[in-house]
Amino acid sequence: MKPMTTLNEPRFDPHCLNKYATLMAAGNGYLGIRATHEESYSQQNRGMYLAGLYHRAGERDVTELINLPDVVGMEIEIDGAIFSLLSGEILDWRRELSFSSGEVARDVLWRAPNGRRYRIESRRFLSAAQKSLFAMRLSITPLDGAAQVKLTTGIDATQTNSGRQHLDDISLRVYDERFLQGVYRVQGSQIDVSIGCHCAVTHTVNRLSAVNRKLMQHSTALVAQGATLCCEKVCWIAGDPDATPDGLEAQSLAALKAAADMGYEALLTASRQAMVQWWRQSRVELDCDNVQDQQALDFALYHLHAMTPEHDDRASIAAKGLTGEGYKGHVFWDTEVFLLPFYLYTHPETARQLLRYRWHNLPGAQQKARRNGYQGALFPWESARTGEEETPEFAAINIRTGQRQRVASALAEHHLVADIGWAVMRYVDISGDDAFLQEEGGELLYQTACFWISRTTEVEGHLEIHDVIGPDEYTEHVNNNAFTNYMALYNVASALKHCPTALLAADFKANAEDFIARLRLPVPDMRHVLPQDDSFFSKPFIDLSRYQAHAGKQTILLDYSRAEVNEMQILKQADVVMLFYLQPGLFTPETQQASLAWYLPRTIHDSSLSKTIHGIVAARCHDPQTAYRFWREGSQIDLGDDPHSSDDGLHAAATGAIWLGVIEGFAGVSVEQGLCVAPRLPEGWRRLRFPLCYQGIRLTLELTPTHLTMTTSAPLTFRLYGRCVSFSGQGSWAYQDFI
Amino acid sequence: MKPMTTLNEPRFDPHCLNKYATLMAAGNGYLGIRATHEESYSQQNRGMYLAGLYHRAGERDVTELINLPDVVGMEIEIDGAIFSLLSGEILDWRRELSFSSGEVARDVLWRAPNGRRYRIESRRFLSAAQKSLFAMRLSITPLDGAAQVKLTTGIDATQTNSGRQHLDDISLRVYDERFLQGVYRVQGSQIDVSIGCHCAVTHTVNRLSAVNRKLMQHSTALVAQGATLCCEKVCWIAGDPDATPDGLEAQSLAALKAAADMGYEALLTASRQAMVQWWRQSRVELDCDNVQDQQALDFALYHLHAMTPEHDDRASIAAKGLTGEGYKGHVFWDTEVFLLPFYLYTHPETARQLLRYRWHNLPGAQQKARRNGYQGALFPWESARTGEEETPEFAAINIRTGQRQRVASALAEHHLVADIGWAVMRYVDISGDDAFLQEEGGELLYQTACFWISRTTEVEGHLEIHDVIGPDEYTEHVNNNAFTNYMALYNVASALKHCPTALLAADFKANAEDFIARLRLPVPDMRHVLPQDDSFFSKPFIDLSRYQAHAGKQTILLDYSRAEVNEMQILKQADVVMLFYLQPGLFTPETQQASLAWYLPRTIHDSSLSKTIHGIVAARCHDPQTAYRFWREGSQIDLGDDPHSSDDGLHAAATGAIWLGVIEGFAGVSVEQGLCVAPRLPEGWRRLRFPLCYQGIRLTLELTPTHLTMTTSAPLTFRLYGRCVSFSGQGSWAYQDFI
């Protein structure tokens, strides 16, 4: 495998504390830990999250992913000065996240305000081998004389979600004068989280304290000039969002002791080994001029691994993964549409887990449908662990008027239901796991289809879907939204075709056939442009170039109210393009090309989900330059220069989209009645190599500007640029023979 | 009046952030606001407290004084750099609290990391004229070129008590694009606090935001070289701990608007004027060589004003005043014994309010007595607003053993009951307010006396008081503690003599007389030393000098367990000396001298209440050198060099003791069958002048080393060194004529 790239923080910049705390966050699907510095900065937000562990702190509050007590912080005092990179001078600096191991390293040569120099180095990682294990290492070397060092670290339960406390501390203990353990209970529940740590600090005197929700070890040492004080901190963080495991405290303590015995290097080796298999099944390798392209892919895959709770099918992927508190840790359609495809093609068992999350939550979705007068399952727009609708009923109060506004998404952004139906079908088509349709998949398809059948309004003999919001949230409460209607049709048709009969109500078949026959579907106009909804073409056009220049910042809302935006041809992202991405086979190349061209000047790309998807469609429309530009811009949503774009967490969907853009866009992989490949590499990409899993067959694809080379674990038939090819073992084909 | 001193923070020291945040805290009895810097530091704890506003956040928690949303913080960005004194260079520095006005001023000449210099000046005060009003002023002057300044400030409700949240934000509003207002509800109650602010920032563009419990104004300005950007922030913080006032939001907003219209300078003038009368009734003026002596007195009186909720007789003075979260904002015996005397002699109406606090809480005290099998009133050792016992039932878990230990003080430190009885009698004797005895005072005396009568155990025909803790908390669970028994005797005797008959149960007189006749009272031994309790003389003596060298730090507990300390002659503070201070007339000078000398080597002074009291008794024992040494040391508890002694708030009782040491110690003021004066000035004190209020008569006393000069508002008879003097208007006496 080509050597992995790294992510480097080029300099210490107080403005970027939270950006890099997000970008370099550690995660293993079970835990996420923000990459905050050991020393505290008032602007720096620490965070540690356990997948699926949510709580609502007050009646007027929203359920949120709990920010757990901190283990990263260390107060370092050297020769009387509290170590802070704001003071003194940084003579040398390196901070780097290794994507292959997940280890973050920082090496600083610091001249303190007293004029003396100290080398301060730290390492840390969250284990891929043992999900509860987090380990750190800090070393301090005084270069200009002996130094008196004080180090205070432990478990700090003063952490909150922006001032909201979710945990009671029910036990704070120290065992053998070395093992610190706190047990924290989610308020008003019986759910406990145990957090333990062991700090081995060389040649020090230690003191312990438990004051004001902080369980701390205070170490003091005199370090000779040139000698190195080393602190190795091993932490064990364990809990289950559904129930407190029997013997949680004792088992966590035993595990902590065992881990501490192994020591940092051995633990890191074990974690690195556990990652190898994952990278083997996932890595996209690239030879090209722009090294950032490979870095963006490694970054995306690193975080896809970090954010995905593959161990727990009652948890899913939050909109910010496990990297921050944005969107309160809620799950959106992002999971099915932007993140699931990666798993479908590389880790189908994980894709199945993610769909089982929705299946577990069917009861809540059915209740929501009932409450709103529909049948079937209306999945919550925002979802946490229980499947309840977690979107706040009202948006934040308008601070100028004091008015509360109902949140429109939970009321009308119903396409999520069809997106889940689509995801079920994608899973079955790509994995070949037909059995899934007999169980969870069939139920999901059926319940979502029933919702759509009940969601219609009859107008002049047609069935219409009224008052919806498509993915484009700048256009609200429209009728016959193209995205929604086509996706609903596919949902119902799939259910009709694939659901086991035993599941179906007596009248379902007739109702479904009627729905399919009579559903009004927007059709392309004379220019081949597919209308976004019934009213979009009649709205006025305005020049959006100044807003497009600040895509992602919603600057349009500084000049126009939401109501005004709604009445113009202004798109956050283009629904129709999103539809082409999901259902390429439904529309002619002409329609896709004409529509893409027509919608582009009307699209601001204020959604982080927008650009990469537009890029994929552009690639399919044989516009590789536009495709590459969009892909690159999409990959900069987190990696770009904006110091604050990622403050409250990563754009999780955007990482999925980075992978999607390459695989579905540039490699042209799709599954439509079988596996299809239609390479269209961007200029300068000399070689693209990646693994795929298709119907249980393990493939490796290697693309050059002229040739496709494939290895397969079983005989395979696929289409290259639409023409059938059968082979086994390894094959190689020149594109020119197929175009 | 002699010019007031100030308190200066000599340099910016990150270790001292919380020390000076406490020492320079603003307070007006209604609100207390810690003197944190405008810019944030990770070690700096912000705090704003409203007297009497408590809440318990969880079942395992303790009721605590709520840390309110912050209004002090300002994020200042200059030319792209976040302003922090940790970075760049401080070229000039001044930070000063003016005791006369309560204004804190900071002037900094700062060289930013970019090399350019900026003058940054700020002022702030909490109004003495309008208790809800807090005002700040910040100015920034770029000296080496124009500067781009960003200023973010407002109301930050992410504040917690060490991670504990007590408030829900129920309304965040902006009126007229200028007035920010948040309404916060104490969780699970109907009690609201309204916090409003108005920030006028010269020549800026402003933006408003309400995100994550922060309601903020963001101001941006380009400031020319040499020009000054000025920000004037006026805040209105209003609430009532018992009920939400009608129209709280509207009235607070109107008051905020009116205050903002007046502007900083006019508001400060009004506040300063309101302080003048208070200082006139309180100020102690001193001519002496050591300017720190005058400063200690001004410091003490400034904080006595700041901490005392004279507006609310259901609130009392917390052990840390309104300056921090130490002792959770609870009220102890400190109020009656160390703080009340100042009010008795200067603001008797406030003294009465403080006693009414106990009277309001009689029901809780009666319940506690009943629950423990006693009669009358057993006041809670720690008290908040309701009079419930707030001492945690169990001490913090022992982190090594996991054992919880019952807190002994709430179970056995019963002397508080007699201290309250003593305080009632002091109030009546000094104020002459006999009517108080017919009402609240009589009830307090009677209920406390009933408690003592029920608290006895009969042994060989005597009544004994078993299993108590005296003020000396290093000696627990003893029988016939001298302090407790003598104070209980005085309590019962006072009730018998002064309580209105209508209050008394039929058998009270007989029971009280029996109690007085049969109560066992420790008596001095052959050496004239009064035993602290039945067992103290039989315990072994050890050399305490190494612990005395670190008085206040409880270093003895590093070498010995509490159980071991209990079995030796080791005192945190000497009970017997404390008894002499409260009841000087009961004991012969011989007993007092001999006991003081005997107990001193056995006393560590680990209590902040110890030294100044020992100083007063030493003064009365004609040992002015020891008296002055103790007084000075006592005055350094907060003002001394220890950077962390005041981190979680001021030692409120110690401020009362600073005043006490001068008035009762050096001026020798006492009231025993009339006003007594017996000056014994420390060497180097050339003149001591202070006002007194005795039985409604306003007096001014001026002492020199040789003469006493007094003015009186009415004809007065008093005793000077024990000899009666009558005069009116003004009189002057040479000591030598009386000794």
- Tens of pLDDT, residue by residue over B183-228, are 999 999 999 999 999 999 987 888 999 999 999 999 999 999 999 9
The amino acid sitting at B393 is E
The kind and range of the H/E element at A707 are strand A707-712
User: In this structure, what DSSP letter does residue A68 have?
Assistant: P
Distance of CA B514 to the CA centre of its chain: 38
Find, in chain A, the residue whose alpha carbon is nearest to that of B75. A43
Residue B455: closest CA among B446, B471, B467, B444: B467
Residues of A in contact with B81 (CB under 8 A): 14
Put simply, whether A165 touches B (Cβ < 8 Å) is: yes
Residue A368: closest CA among A404, A358, A507, A509: A358
- Using CA atoms, how far apart are residues A253 and A349, in angstroms rounded to an integer? 32
| Residue A70, beta-bridge partner list | A156
pLDDT tens for A206-264 read 899 999 999 999 999 999 999 999 999 999 999 999 999 999 999 999 999 999 999 99
Tokens coding A368: 């929501």
Say how many C-beta atoms besides its own lie within 10 A of residue A243's C-beta.
Answer: 12
Lookup: tokens for A522: 């927007």
Can you tell me the ipTM of this complex?
0.92
Contact A159 B163 (CB under 8 A): yes
CB atoms near residue B60 (< 10 Å): 12
Q: Does A114 touch chain B (CB under 8 A)?
A: no
Which pLDDT belongs to residue A1? 79
The rounded distance, in Å, linking the Cα atoms of A681 and B597 is 95
The reply to whether B397 touches chain A by the CB within 8 Å rule is yes
Q: What is the DSSP string of B320-358?
A: TTTS--GGGG-B-THIIIIIHHHHHHH-HHHHHHHHHHH
Query: Which of A155, A399, A404, A647 to mutate: most B Cβ within 10 Å?
Result: A399
CA pair distance A370, A363, nearest whole angstrom: 11
To 10 degrees, what angle do helices B415-431 and B482-498 make? 50
Residue of B39, B74, B162 to mutate when probing chain A, most A C-beta within 10 A = B162
CA distance B552 to B79: 46
Asked if A397 reaches chain B (Cβ–Cβ under 8 Å), the answer is: yes
Is residue B288 classed as helix, strand or coil in its secondary structure?
strand
3-state secondary structure of A362: helix
The answer to whether A68 faces chain B, any CB pair under 8 Å, is: no
The tokens of B48 are what?
């704003």
Yes or no: say if A423 and A444 are a contact pair by the CB < 8 Å rule. Answer: no
Q: Which residues of A touch B17 (CB under 8 A)?
A: none
Asked whether the CA dihedral A433, A434, A435, A436 is positive or negative, the reply is positive
Q: Which of B350, B287, B366, B331 is nearest to B54 (CA)?
A: B331
With CA atoms as reference, report the closest residue to B466 among B374, B554, B394, B533.
B533
Q: Phi/psi at B197 (nearest 5 deg)? A: -150, 155
Domains of chain B: 7-280 (2.70.98.40), 285-666 (1.50.10.10)
Q: Which single residue is written with the structure tokens 């000054």? A: B228
**How distant is the alpha carbon of residue A233 from its chain centre?**
28
Alpha-carbon torsion A457, A460, A463, A468, what sign?
A: negative
pLDDT band at B403 (very low <50, low <70, confident <90, very high): confident
Distance of CA B246 to the CA centre of its chain: 31
Query: Count of CB contacts below 8 A, A vs B?
Result: 113
Using the Cβ of A503 and the Cβ atoms of chain B, whether some distance falls under 8 Å is answered with no
Smallest CA-to-CA distance from B262 within B216, B215, B200 is with B200
- Tens digits of per-residue pLDDT, B138-162? 999 999 999 999 999 999 999 999 9
Q: Give the closest residue to B582 by CA, choosing from B353, B425, B692, B465.
A: B425
Give burial (CB, 10 Å; 0-12/13-18/19+) of A289: exposed
Find how far residue B471's CA is from the centre of its chain: 18
Q: Pick B218 or B397 by higher pLDDT.
A: B218
Q: How confident is the model at residue A58 (pLDDT cuts 50, 70, 90)?
A: confident
Q: Is A214 annotated as a binding residue?
A: no
pLDDT at position B405: 73
Q: Is the pLDDT of residue A623 over 70?
A: yes
Buried b (16+ CB within 10 A) or exposed e, A557-578: eeebeeeebbebbbbbbbbbbb
| A558–B contact, CB cutoff 8 A | no
Q: Whole-number mean pLDDT of chain B?
A: 95
Q: Are A427 and A435 in contact (CB under 8 A)?
A: no
Structure token pair of residue A540 = 């006025």
Chain B residue numbers touching A187 (CB-CB < 8 A):
58
Q: Determine what percent of chain B is predicted with pLDDT higher than 90.
A: 93
The candidate with the shortest Cα–Cα distance to A209, out of A248, A182, A238, A239, is A182
Nearest Cβ partner for A43 among B59, B60, B82: B82
Check residue B59 and give its pLDDT: 78
CA dist A41 → A136, A274, A418, B647 (Å): 19, 33, 45, 19
Strand-pair category, B716-720 with B675-677: parallel
Bridge partners for B31 per DSSP? B50
What pLDDT sits at residue A396? 67
- Percentage of residues in chain A having pLDDT higher than 90: 93
Q: How confident is the model at residue A392, as a pLDDT?
A: 82
CA nearest B328 in A: which residue? Answer: A212
pLDDT winner (highest mean) among A58-62, A116-120, A620-624, A735-739: A116-120
B165 vs A164: CB contact, 8 Å cut-off? yes
Q: What angle do CA A438, A444, A449 make, to 5 degrees?
A: 110
Estimate the share of chain B in helix, then strand, then coil, as percent rounded to the nearest 5: 35, 25, 40
Torsion of CA A421, A426, A429, A432, to 10 degrees: -90
Q: Where would I find the H helices in A240-324?
A: 248-262, 264-280, 291-307
Q: Which residues of B touch A159 (CB under 8 A)?
A: 163
CB of B11 less than 8 A from some CB of A? no
pLDDT 10s digits, A556-613 = 988 998 889 999 999 999 999 999 999 999 999 999 999 999 999 999 999 988 999 9
Asked whether residue A333 is marked as a ligand-binding residue, the answer is: yes
pLDDT in tens, B545-575: 999 999 988 999 889 988 899 999 999 999 9
Q: Does A461 touch chain B (CB under 8 A)?
A: no
Question: Which residues on B lie below 8 Å from A160 (Cβ)?
Answer: 158, 160, 163, 165
State whether residue B153 sits within 8 Å of chain A by CB: no
pLDDT band at A304, cuts 50/70/90? very high
How confident is the model over B282-313, as pLDDT tens digits?
999 999 999 999 999 999 999 999 999 999 99
The overall longest dimension of chain A from CA atoms, in Å, is: 89
DSSP for residue B586 = G
Residue B424 to residues B223, B347, B502, Cα–Cα distance (Å)? 61, 15, 19
User: Is residue B644 within 8 Å of residue B634, measured between CB atoms?
Assistant: no
Using CA atoms, how far apart are residues B330 and B391, in angstroms rounded to an integer?
9
B467, B535 contact by CB (below 8 A): no
- The shortest C-alpha distance from B173 to chain A (Å) reads 4
- Identify the closest residue of chain A to B402 by CA–CA distance: A173
Mean pLDDT rounded to a whole number for chain A: 95
Q: Give the gap in angstroms from C-alpha B140 to the nearest C-alpha of chain A.
A: 21
Considering B336, B443, B473, B664, which one is annotated as catalytic? B473
| Confidence category of residue A393, pLDDT binned at 50, 70, 90 | confident
Which of A57, A59, A163 has the CB atom closest to B157's CB atom? A163
How many Å is the Cα radius of gyration of chain B?
27
Q: What pLDDT is recorded for position A299?
A: 98
pLDDT of B396 reads: 67
Say how far apart CA A86 and CA A92 lie, in whole Å: 14
Pairing of strands A716-720, A675-677: parallel
- Out of A473, A476, A633, A664, which one is annotated catalytic? A473
CA atoms within 13 A on the CB side of B456: 25
All residues of chain A having their beta carbon less than 8 Å from the beta carbon of residue B78 are none
Q: Residues of chain A with pLDDT > 70: what percent?
A: 100
Query: Is the minimum CB–CB distance between B168 and chain A shorter than 8 Å?
Result: yes
B473: annotated active-site residue: yes
Neighbour count for residue A641 (Cβ, 10 Å): 8
Helix B415-431 × helix B348-360 angle, to 10°: 150
**Predicted confidence (pLDDT) per residue in A379-392, tens digit:** 999 999 998 999 88
Chain B contact for A12 (CB, 8 A cutoff): no
Run of H or E residues at A285: strand A285-288
Q: Which chain A positions have a beta carbon within 8 Å of B58's beta carbon? A: 168, 187
Mutate to test the interface with A, among B42, B77, B404 (most CBs of A within 10 A): B42
For helices A482-498 and A508-518, the axis angle rounded to 10 degrees is 150
Look at B213 and A42 and tell me if their CB atoms are within 8 Å.
Answer: no
In chain A, which residue's Cα lies nearest the Cα of B175? Answer: A400
Band of residue B97 on the pLDDT scale cut at 50, 70, 90: very high
Short-list B375, B421, B413, B372, CA closest to B391 = B413
Among the partner residues A15, A170, A396, nearest to B210 by beta-carbon distance: A396
Q: Do A213 and B163 touch (CB under 8 A)?
A: yes
Confidence of residue B609 (pLDDT cuts 50, 70, 90): confident
The pLDDT, as a whole number, for residue A203 is 77
Which residue is closest to B214 within chain A, CA to CA? Answer: A162
3-class SS letters over B428-466: HHHHCCCHHHHCHHHHHHHHHHHHHHHCCEEECCEEECC
